Amino acid sequence: MKPNNTNFPLAKRIRPLIWACLLICYATLRVRLILVSLRFSISARSIYHNSFRFVQRQCPKALLLFVLITFFHLYSYPQNIKNQSKTQNLKNTKNPSNNSQNPKEYPTFPDKKSPLLDSLFKNLSPEFQKILQNPEKYRFQLIYTQIDRNSKNIPKLTHHIYRLDTTEYFYPASCLKMPVTALALEKLKNLNIPNLNWDTKIVNEKSRYCQMDPVTKDPDMASGIPTIKGYIKKIFLISDNPGYDRLFEFLTPYYINDTLRARGYKSTRIIQRLFTYCKIEEHKYINPIKFYHYDSVIYQQPATVCDSSYALPHVKTDKIGKFSWNGYTAVQGGLEPHKYSYISLKDLHEMLIAIIMPNTLPKTKRFKLKQEEYNLIRKYMSMYPSESKDPDLNKKQFSYYENGRMKYFIYGGQGKDTIPNIRIFNKVGMAVGFLTDVAYIIDFEKKAEFFLSATVYVNENQIIGDDRYDYFNLGLPFLKELGNKILDYERKRPKNYPDLSNFIYDYSKP
């Protein structure tokens, strides 16, 4: 096997020169030895010692070159053979710790809706058939991804779709928060500043009249200190809007959109905060940010202005509803999609896969995170509010803190009781009549796992902003039954029993 020296370009470039110099020195030395032996007729041992003294005295450069060539030759050549052999063995054995997928086998989305989904939908309750009979009205889209693992526990994904359309607008609401949390951790790591991490105090200051006052404390957290980690916890536990806004400001729309589009998420536009009464035009003004280590500022960002609208020409701009909320009042004409954030269901689905099973996607679509950063997101994405110690949500009486509130599939967004063997790693969105859930669901007892994402628009009176949406009487029960139907199917579907231990977390620790 021919060794690959690409990892040692210096050795590869200078090796011929070193050999040439060494050969010249060697030839010169041999001639000298012959002359010495003929003249003095001494023993071979004496020749060796005299010659070595000659080299030390007359040819120090030759000795140095000899050491260099020996180092490069003995180190790079065998090392490369060893590395190449090791790499080849990893490829041949398909090391399960890699959880990687052959590039030729990366999942692709089909062009047509799945016959399997049609058969599953037929068994839904009669009250939900009106959604399936008129999916255009309800803007219903769905992606169901089956996971099949081989004997090495390496997953292979197969997508099934229903009306998947990246050009059809829906308002993603709090689903925007999922990629923003991952990008916040990624940016922290890339800054690479001593003492700057997810536990460092962050202060979002104020630069415009309608922005929040400087956030110097976080009363929900035991430490009282606002941090990236604290915001991420609350984003997944209770879908905290202020926490998202602070991360949005830390990242800036430039960083968010340029990064996601460079990764291949071409139907994504994140251009607004969620907890503010500013006009939509005000979201382009971004607060100054400071990070503190004790009382010292270790990193700061100036106030910025994002002038790009990050338009998506391929997304339909037809107004939705009869009235819309523009930030401070209702205006006639319906919601105007081009003014608001958007992430297609396809992009959301792949972003979740990039967090849960990154190696099943091309490298270009993955977040650049360490394992501990992935684990932080996954843990709080799957934790129930009652399990949280910091922030302590057990004292909260509001239904918003119920365990099922952020789980639309399986639980229908309601209820305190949970099923012990089931974990849902997800992010939901609810606003202006749209309900969206993007989830990875596991039944540890039945060894069932799958990805499921769906969005549905439930606003029978078509008025945006009157807060009279059909969430609890239609949309949430529909998603609950949908999730349970597919879970039942997955429990019965023949497959190799996977090892899901990597998704078991200790929720007793904050």
Structural domain for 262, as ranges = 97-503
pLDDT confidence band for 83 (50 / 70 / 90): very low
Rounded CA-CA distance 110/160 in Å is 7
**What residues contact residue 39 under an 8 Å CB cut-off, 6+ apart?**
none
CA 66 from chain centre, in angstroms, equals: 50
* Residue 54: inside a domain: yes
Most confident of 70-74, 105-109, 118-122: 118-122
* Residue 3: inside a domain: no
- Cβ atoms of residues 356 and 382 within 8 Å: no
- Cβ atoms of residues 193 and 298 within 8 Å: yes
Please tell me whether residues 337 and 285 are part of one structural domain. yes
Please tell me whether residues 121 and 81 are part of one structural domain. no
Please tell me whether residues 110 and 47 are part of one structural domain. no
- CB atoms < 10 A from the CB of 322, how many? 17
Domain end point (choices 42, 72, 93): 93
Q: Average the pLDDT over 233-257 and give the result.
A: 97
Please tell me whether residues 316 and 419 are part of one structural domain. yes
- Cβ atoms of residues 172 and 342 within 8 Å: yes
Please tell me whether residues 234 and 376 are part of one structural domain. yes
Number of domains in the chain: 2
* Residue 510: inside a domain: no
Distances 443 to 17, 218, 420, 483, 491 between C-alpha atoms, Å: 64, 35, 9, 12, 8
Q: Which two tokens stand for residue 274?
A: 């969620």
Please tell me whether residues 89 and 108 are part of one structural domain. no
* Residue 46: inside a domain: yes
pLDDT tens-digit map of 40-62: 444 444 544 554 454 455 555 55
Rounded CA-CA distance 301/79 in Å is 45
Is 41 or 439 the better-scoring residue by pLDDT? 439
- Cβ atoms of residues 131 and 78 within 8 Å: no
Residue 280: burial class (beta carbons within 10 Å; 0-12, 13-18, 19+): middle
The answer to whether the bond into 391 is cis (omega within 30° of 0) is: yes
235-245 burial, b at 16+ Cβ within 10 Å, e below that, comes to: bbbbbbbbbbb
Mean pLDDT for the chain overall: 85
pLDDT confidence band for 314 (50 / 70 / 90): very high
Beta bridge partners of 58: none
* Residue 509: inside a domain: no
pLDDT at 27 over 80: no
Please tell me whether residues 82 and 124 are part of one structural domain. no
Report the candidate in 222, 124, 177 with the shortest Cα–Cα distance to residue 436: 177
Please tell me whether residues 356 and 498 are part of one structural domain. yes
CATH classification of the domain holding 425: 3.40.710.10
Report the candidate in 1, 372, 315, 325 with the shortest Cα–Cα distance to residue 168: 315
Rounded CA-CA distance 394/295 in Å is 33
Please tell me whether residues 315 and 409 are part of one structural domain. yes
pLDDT confidence band for 105 (50 / 70 / 90): confident
Distances 215 to 14, 287, 292 between C-alpha atoms, Å: 58, 11, 13
- Give the per-residue pLDDT at 47: 44
- Give the per-residue pLDDT at 490: 98
pLDDT tens-digit map of 281-295: 899 999 999 999 999
Domain end point (choices 93, 110, 132): 93
Beta bridge partners of 431: 434
Please tell me whether residues 186 and 283 are part of one structural domain. yes
Rounded CA-CA distance 367/183 in Å is 7
Please tell me whether residues 86 and 203 are part of one structural domain. no
- Cβ atoms of residues 334 and 128 within 8 Å: no
Distances 405 to 7, 319, 339, 410 between C-alpha atoms, Å: 52, 30, 29, 11
- Cβ atoms of residues 403 and 385 within 8 Å: yes
Question: Which DSSP string corresponds to 440-466?
Answer: EEEETTTTEEEEEEEEEE--TT-BTTS
- Give the per-residue pLDDT at 11: 44
Please tell me whether residues 358 and 415 are part of one structural domain. yes
327-347 burial, b at 16+ Cβ within 10 Å, e below that, comes to: eeeeeeebbbbebbbbbbbbb
pLDDT at 260 over 80: yes
* Residue 469: inside a domain: yes
- Cβ atoms of residues 278 and 287 within 8 Å: no
* Residue 4: inside a domain: no
CA 445 from chain centre, in angstroms, equals: 27
Strand positions, DSSP E, 60-178: 141-149, 155-162
* Residue 379: inside a domain: yes
Phi, psi of 302 (to 5 degrees): -75, 165
Q: Average the pLDDT over 194-218 and give the result.
A: 94
pLDDT tens-digit map of 218-227: 999 999 999 9
Is 144 or 64 the better-scoring residue by pLDDT? 144
Residue 371: burial class (beta carbons within 10 Å; 0-12, 13-18, 19+): exposed
Domain end point (choices 93, 122, 154): 93
pLDDT at 280 over 90: no
Residue 32: burial class (beta carbons within 10 Å; 0-12, 13-18, 19+): middle
Long-range contacts of 122-131 (CB under 8 A, 24+ apart): 123/485, 124/478, 124/481, 124/482, 124/485, 125/481, 127/474, 127/477, 128/474, 128/477, 128/478, 128/481, 131/456, 131/474, 131/478
